[in-house]
Amino acid sequence: MSDWGWPGVIAHRCGGALAPENALAGLGIAARLGCVAVEFDAMLSADGVPLLIHDETLDRTAGVPGRVAEMPADALLATDVGCVFHPAFRGETIPRLIDALARCRALGLAANLEIKPATGVEIETGRAVGMLLASMAPEERPVLLLSSFSADALRIAAGCVPEIPRAFLVEALDDAVIDTALAFGCQSLNLSRQGLSAAHVAAVKKAGLRCLVYTVNQPDEARRLAAWGVDGVFSDRPDLLLPVSASQNPA
């Protein structure tokens, strides 16, 4: 059990590479593997409903054309994202954020909720996610960590639910990134593994921030990052990394 309440391995996009990404099926698989924390992405439909999807288009995950920000929620919720991944998941559709939160709560999964706005709707996405969370009673929510690459989205969401811990997502570290994270009252910096060094991790920890790293799929790399002081990793292969994690108990 880490002293900030998050485990060393967090399943990336619900179930990592073991299920269609950002789909409810992945949450069940993560829980059965023994994961106690997952990560997923929230984006808005054209009519302002927060849904779980990473890309701004449906091409990669659903194999059909369409821009998420231009489609109503009803159409997106009916979009099959399982059949492209594997025929066994045919019928698995894009879920609403509210349904993913409820499933996490039921399964006992903590969730790093990444606010993933489509281009140009950063503030609207942060507000919609924040208002949704604010509308829920605390006992209805899973344990949460809010994160985003968008400083505007994170700032707006945090204003709606200041009690929920947050993390700033970045691809590369510099002093400005640390300053922004501290100014937003973040608990963590979520960093890319690409170009990351022990000195970077030390700088994050010296600033009083936790350090989570994406996307780590090899046990040897996970061990090396843990030795550097990294608090946890996001992984597409939690089934490979769970044995090297010191703890898998959430707060």
Catalytic residues: 12, 54
- DSSP reduced 3-state for 104: helix
User: Looking at residue 244, what DSSP letter applies?
Assistant: G
Give strand ranges (E) for 153-227.
166-170, 188-192, 210-214
List own/partner pairs for 170-179 with CB under 8 A and 24 or more apart.
173/200, 173/203, 173/204, 178/203, 178/204, 178/207, 178/209
Whether 17 and 4 have beta carbons less than 8 Å apart is answered as: no
Structure tokens at 94: 């894009």
Q: If phi over 0 gives left and psi between -120 and 50 gives alpha, with beta otherwise, what is residue 178? A: alpha
